[in-house]
Amino acid sequence: MTIKYGKGRIFHTIMGHASEKNLAMKCSGFIVTSLRGAEWAASGKVTQIVPENLPTKTAIKLWEDYK
């Protein structure tokens, strides 16, 4: 969700909390959404490209080594 707040911008996701059991935090779709959302909130623009290895309807794409 995105919200304009005065002269600022807010990016919010309800994806959950980080834990060893929560694989969503390692999902390439979540990571890309978070990074692009943070860039938009900070600058009003999104310059980061969307990688090709995003999840599909039938396949999960985890970035195991992402920190």
The tens place of each residue's pLDDT in the chain, 67 residues long, gives 888 889 899 998 887 677 777 778 888 888 899 999 999 999 999 999 998 889 999 998 988 776 6
Collect all residues with Cβ–Cβ distance below 8 Å to 37 and sequence separation of at least 6: 2, 11, 13
How many structural domains does the chain have?
A: 1
| Structural domain for 42, as ranges | 1-67
- pLDDT for the residue 36: 94
Q: Within a 10 A sphere around the Cβ of 29, how many other Cβ atoms?
A: 18
User: Tell me, what's the pLDDT at 67?
Assistant: 62
Q: Output the pLDDT for position 50.
A: 92
